[in-house]
């Protein structure tokens, strides 16, 4: 058990990293990003609704608002690869594909802004984007200015067709060009994902200073296998990576799959819980007009989004792996005399039939605040009143986790010693059960 307590301590000491100072992404950015669901569908004749086009993004902007996602916090609408014309214009400028974006990027940005949303755009630091469209290489300053003219709020800069060894310089330089435009733009970098792939040592301190978020690992695919591969990799690297996360600078495990084809209802809850503990950006990538109500409830769960957006911005870690149950914890506000409140996710990695019972004391989870904690089950139905439980460090938490599912709890520190002694006596050695 000592091992996992050490991991918690590392996360709690995650202070002192100097982040990018553009005033943006002080909490993990939330929004919608086209890639996972729509990839590079460009054949609008055969797939008129799904092709990467202004129509797709205008519809998504409408739905972000009308379906309640914008109010829940999902503010960024981000265009990914395949928006560009195959060549730059005669005067060397970037241009959108004229058939799929007949009104141009500025008009799309205006539309997105008119909905009260923020507009994001994809580019690539190399010669070409990953799908083979013109990249920014050689025209970095001009393109950064172009983004500002178009009133872009968020730039996702990929790394295909570029020199991986030169990325530290190149990404920093592009960030400076963005800065010099005077328009604050969230800067999403991909350089660690490429360097990680080549087994290089990565300068995360430099990254946190120059990027608001960065993709550490390969692209997510629409499956539970992909979710677990990414979360295992994050767990493996957590003692190194977590310290670089904080307000304005985040590790990015890639998009949420929720509402798509690949995850079951319970696997969707698991991804939402793990991503929230990781202080990850929450970027949906789904057909917003076609998300079943129960999946929408996961995405719009207010209690969970509150944890995702916790002002301390501490990235949580996987603190324990036992009997097929992964336990993830994230310190959050409120804090009392150095004792944090916590979000704790019990994620089942099992695939056998019955729910797995698991029990552990708060103390063994690293929760040692003498005055105790209140506990909320974060997936309690929002329509019923959430039951608040009370527990002390010695209290045993019992959960039953269904295969590939999650029990996600919030422990809030109690600030002043409660008066009634019987509350304490009652909680001592008690067991609270969550399913
Ligand atoms: C979303 O789903 C609806 C209902 O299945 C379908 O009619 C529509 O074409 C889809 N839109 C996109 C953009 O995938
Ligand atoms: C793009 O430019 C290349 C080389 O300059 C040229 O060969 C090609 O025909 C152009 N493609 C389009 C679609 O204009
Ligand atoms: C540019 O960088 C400076 C120094 O870090 C910062 O104070 C300023 O807010 C940045 N401006 C923009 C537009 O990003
Ligand atoms: C946590 O709170 C307790 C009081 O419940 C206090 O005695 C202890 O010093 C606090 N821990 C830290 C690390 O400050
Ligand atoms: C929730 O609690 C409020 C106030 O205590 C009460 O009026 C209401 O009936 C409760 N709702 C449900 C669904 O239990
Ligand atoms: C709690 O458990 C301990 C050890 O099993 C026991 O000594 C103690 O009396 C118990 N306290 C209460 C209030 O039940």
Q: DSSP for 289-347, please give it.
A: TS--HHHHHHHT-HHHHHHHT-TT----EEEEEETTEEEEEEEEEEEETTEEEEEEEEE
CA 284/CA 35 separation, integer angstroms: 10
Residue with token string 């950015």: 29
Scanning 19-94, the segments in alpha helix (DSSP H) are: 35-38, 54-66, 69-72
CA 41/CA 225 separation, integer angstroms: 24
**Whether the CB of 341 sits within 6 Å of ligand 4:** no
- The pairing of strands 213-215 and 186-189 is parallel
Q: Are 191 and 209 in contact (CB under 8 A)?
A: no
Nearest CA to ligand 6 atom 10: 429
Spacing, Cα 381 to ligand 1 middle (Å): 28
Strand partners, 188: 156, 213
CA atoms within 13 A on the CB side of 426: 8
Q: Counting atoms of ligand 1 from 1, which one is nearest the CA of 37?
A: 14
Q: Which ligand is nearest to the CA of 395?
A: 6
pTM given for the model: 0.93
Q: Are 346 and 324 in contact (CB under 8 A)?
A: no
Q: Counting atoms of ligand 2 from 1, which one is nearest the CA of 85?
A: 13
The pick from 382, 383, 384, 385 for probing ligand 5's pocket by mutation, whose C-beta has the most ligand atoms within 8 angstroms, reads 385
The pick from 391, 429, 430, 431 for probing ligand 6's pocket by mutation, whose C-beta has the most ligand atoms within 8 angstroms, reads 429
Query: pLDDT tens track of the chain, all 435 residues?
Result: 333 333 344 444 445 678 898 999 999 999 999 999 999 999 999 999 999 999 999 999 999 999 999 999 999 999 999 999 999 999 999 999 999 999 999 999 999 999 999 999 999 999 999 999 999 999 999 999 999 999 999 999 999 999 999 999 999 999 999 999 999 999 999 999 999 989 999 999 999 999 999 999 999 999 999 999 999 999 999 999 999 999 999 999 999 999 999 999 999 999 999 999 999 999 999 999 999 999 999 999 999 999 999 999 999 999 999 999 999 999 999 999 999 999 999 999 999 999 999 999 999 999 999 999 999 999 987 666 667 788 999 999 999 999 999 999 999 999 888 776 667 767 766 788 887
Q: Counting atoms of ligand 5 from 1, which one is nearest the CA of 385?
A: 1
* pLDDT (tens digit per residue) in 165-195: 999 999 999 999 999 999 999 999 999 999 9
**Whether the CB of 433 sits within 6 Å of ligand 6:** no
């Amino acid at each position: 058990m000592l091992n996992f307590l050490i991991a918690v301590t590392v996360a709690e000491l995650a202070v002192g990293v100097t982040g990018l100072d553009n005033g943006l992404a002080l909490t993990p950015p939330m929004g919608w990003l086209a890639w996972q669901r729509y990839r590079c569908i460009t054949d609008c004749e055969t797939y008129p609704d799904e092709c990467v086009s202004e129509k797709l993004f205008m519809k998504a902007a409408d739905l972000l608002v009308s379906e309640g996602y914008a109010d829940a916090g999902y503010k960024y609408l981000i265009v990914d690869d395949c928006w560009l014309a195959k060549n730059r214009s005669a005067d060397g400028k970037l241009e959108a594909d004229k058939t799929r974006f007949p009104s141009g990027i500025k008009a799309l940005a205006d539309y997105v802004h008119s909905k009260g949303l923020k507009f994001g755009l994809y580019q690539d630091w190399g010669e070409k984007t990953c799908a083979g469209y013109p990249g920014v290489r050689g025209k970095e300053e001009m393109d950064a200015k172009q983004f500002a003219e178009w009133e872009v709020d968020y730039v996702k800069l990929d790394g295909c067709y570029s020199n991986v060894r030169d990325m530290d310089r190149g990404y920093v330089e592009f960030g400076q060009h963005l800065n010099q435009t005077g328009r604050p733009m969230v800067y999403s970098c991909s350089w660690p994902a490429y360097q990680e792939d080549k087994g290089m040592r990565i300068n995360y301190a430099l990254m946190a200073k120059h990027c608001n978020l960065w993709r550490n690992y390969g692209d997510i695919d629409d499956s539970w296998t992909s979710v677990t591969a990414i979360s295992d990799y994050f767990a493996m690297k957590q003692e190194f990576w977590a310290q670089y996360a904080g307000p304005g600078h985040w590790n990015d495990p890639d998009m949420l799959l929720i509402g798509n084809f690949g995850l079951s209802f319970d696997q969707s809850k698991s991804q939402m819980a793990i991503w929230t503990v990781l202080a990850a950006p929450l970027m949906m990538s789904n057909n917003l007009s076609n998300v079943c109500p129960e999946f929408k409830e996961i995405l719009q769960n207010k209690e969970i989004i509150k944890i995702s957006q916790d002002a301390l911005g501490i990235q949580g870690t996987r603190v324990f792996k036992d009997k097929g149950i992964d336990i993830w914890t994230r310190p959050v506000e409120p804090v009392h005399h150095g004792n944090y409140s916590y979000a704790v996710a019990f994620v089942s990695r099992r695939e056998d039939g019955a729910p797995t019972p698991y029990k552990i004391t708060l103390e063994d989870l690293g929760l040692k605040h003498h005055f105790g904690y209140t506990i909320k089950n974060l997936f309690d139905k929002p329509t019923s009143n959430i039951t608040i439980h009370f527990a002390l460090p010695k209290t045993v938490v019992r959960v039953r986790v269904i295969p590939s599912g999650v029990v996600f709890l919030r422990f809030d520190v109690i600030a002043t010693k409660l008066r009634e002694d019987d509350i304490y006596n009652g909680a001592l050695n008690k067991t609270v059960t969550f399913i």
